[in-house]
Structure formats: structure tokens, C-alpha cells
Amino acid sequence: MATAVAKRLAGKTVVITGASSGIGRSTAFEFARTAAAAGGLKLVLTARRIDSLKQIATDIVAEVGEGNVKVLPVQLDVSKPDEVRGFVEKLPEEFKEIDVLVNNAGLVKGVARAPQIAEEDVNTMFNTNVTGLINMTQAILPIFLRRPNGGSGDIINIGSVAGREPYAGGSIYCATKAAIRSFTDSLRQELIASRVRVMEIDPGQVETEFSVVRFYGDKAKADAVYAGCDPLTPDDIAEVVVFVAGRRENVVVADTLIFPSHQAAAGVMHRKS
């Protein structure tokens, strides 16, 4: 027996950026598991690591059954405007009618403070987290706006507590996430006459590859971030993503902030000694 949420998601096409790892990967599984009972879900999984996406696609189909979900892995670097521009056009016809865009791809590089922040890291963070998210949104919005009643579809942006509370050693990352927040809030106002839902989810600490990327592959430094903590898992955030996408059309979960229980602010973390 399909739940109300499964029925609402049935037949939808969902695009997830940064689906090769962490929150994006979990979100792909969660959509498939939730919608499976009603069938017809189509997932477009994008990231730079195409081999990981192919494996995730295989694993999802194996878990929920071939007849219940179609998964398309697509190599896409959101920081490259040309790749984003050609993205929709290159999709097979059956995946072109996108209903949900999860703008999740993002990263932080280093903990350097001005004036020592590498220019390359500044550009990577802004090009991925901000320009990439804006370009993806602009590439897919025309599909939403062609629909009746001024248009419909979901844009779910993954921000961060860092976008609300800047901290030393994270100035660029915090600035990118604050930019996402402003863009998201402006966009919701611009689309007020449509049925397009613009939603932001701001996680606190989640254990993924995020810190490994921050410390340029140094796993020991990444592990130290979570020492004595009980962080969120990527599945915790994925459940919220699918929850907001699965509400009745007139319900917009505009903004959410999610912490593990021992976190109370970007830098306020209780650590077990």
C-alpha cells in the first residue's frame, strides 16, 4: 500500500547534484525507497565521479526493483558553466520533464584565514557552491515555468548553518552559503505567482566526505573534526529532503536548520572527553 508521500512522488523526475557521495547519495536512495511503492520515479544522478554514480544507480535498482525506479547517472561538473548549459539538452527525452532539483553539490577547501586563502580555493568554492547552484537553477527553471498555472516544480537548495553564522577559518565557505541563502530567498519572491516551491535545508555537522575534502584528503584531520561528537548522518538530511519534496503542493517548507543533539550553533559543540 503506497503512502500519501509515495503517491505524490510517483512518476516524478528528480535531479540531484553531488549524488556521488554523502548527502546527495543518501538523498538518491531515500527518494527511491520512499517512492518505490507507487512506482514510476526517475532519478538523474549527477557529479564529477561517474563511476561512483554508476555503482549507486546499480545499487538503487537492486534494492528497490527495476520496475519501480529508473536511474540515470550523468557526469556533470556544476562549476563549469558550459557543462551546465548543455545538461538539459543532452538528457534522454524520458528524463527531460524534471520536477525536482536538489542543488546539493558543494564543498569547502581548507581553513585558511585572509590574507592566506589560496585564490584557487576561493574560486573553486564560489564556482561550485554559488555559481554552479545558480546556473543549475536557471538551466532547469524554464522547464518548471512552462507548466500550467504559472509553473510548478521544486528547487531544494542545500545551504548550511555556516550561511547563518560565519566563523573564523571558514570565511569563503560561509560567504558561499550566505549567498545561497540570499539567492534562495530572492528566488522564492520572484516565483511567488507560480507553484514553484523554493526551499532551503541547512544542515549542521554531518559526517560525510566533506571534511576529507576540506583537509585535501587528510583523513586523520577529517576524523578529528568528529572526535567526541555524534554527528548527523547523510541519511538524516536525505530524510528531510524527501519530506519537503513529498508535501502537498500548497505546502512550502521554506527553511530548515538541522543539528545533531550536541550542536547548538556553528561553533557550539559538546564533545565527550
Q: Which of 134, 137, 107, 136 is nearest to 122 (CA)?
A: 107
Q: Which of 81, 208, 116, 103 is nearest to 154 (CA)?
A: 103
Binding window for ligand NAP (CB under 6 A); candidates: 2-10, 36-44, 115-123, 203-211: 203-211
Q: Is 179 in the site for ligand NAP (CB under 6 A)?
A: no
The helix or strand, by DSSP H or E, that contains position 54, with its residue range, turns out to be helix 50-64
Binding window for ligand NAP (CB under 6 A); candidates: 27-35, 182-190, 198-206, 242-250: 198-206
Q: Which of 79, 97, 78 is nearest to 88 (CA)?
A: 97
Sheet holding 69-75, edge to edge: 69-75, 41-47, 13-17, 100-103, 152-158, 195-203, 255-258
Binding window for ligand NAP (CB under 6 A); candidates: 7-15, 31-39, 74-82, 186-194: 74-82
Which residues, 239 to 258, sit near ligand NAP by CB under 6 A? none
The single residue among 72, 91, 111, 213 that binds ligand NAP, judged by CB under 6 A, is 213
User: Is 80 among the residues known to form the active site?
Assistant: no
Q: Is 104 in the site for ligand NAP (CB under 6 A)?
A: yes
Adjacent-strand bridge partners of 14: 43, 100
Q: Is 210 in the site for ligand NAP (CB under 6 A)?
A: yes
Set 54, 167, 177, 226: catalytic member: 177
Binding-site string for ligand NAP from residue 39 to residue 68, where x marks contact by CB under 6 A and - marks none: --------xxx-------------------
Whether 199 and 253 have beta carbons less than 8 Å apart is answered as yes
Task: Give the integer Cα–Cα distance in Å for 20 and 43.
Answer: 13
37/107 with CB nearer ligand NAP: 107
Binding window for ligand NAP (CB under 6 A); candidates: 84-92, 100-108, 144-152, 189-197: 100-108
> Which cell is 197 given?
516551491
Task: Give the integer Cα–Cα distance in Å for 64 and 35.
Answer: 9
Task: Give the integer Cα–Cα distance in Å for 137 and 256.
Answer: 20
Task: Give the integer Cα–Cα distance in Å for 159 and 177.
Answer: 5
Number of residues that bind ligand NAP (CB under 6 A): 30
Q: Is 88 in the site for ligand NAP (CB under 6 A)?
A: no
Q: Is 105 in the site for ligand NAP (CB under 6 A)?
A: yes
- Residues lying near ligand NAP in the complex (CB under 6 A): 17-24, 47-49, 76-79, 104-107, 128, 158, 160, 203, 205-206, 208-210, 213, 234
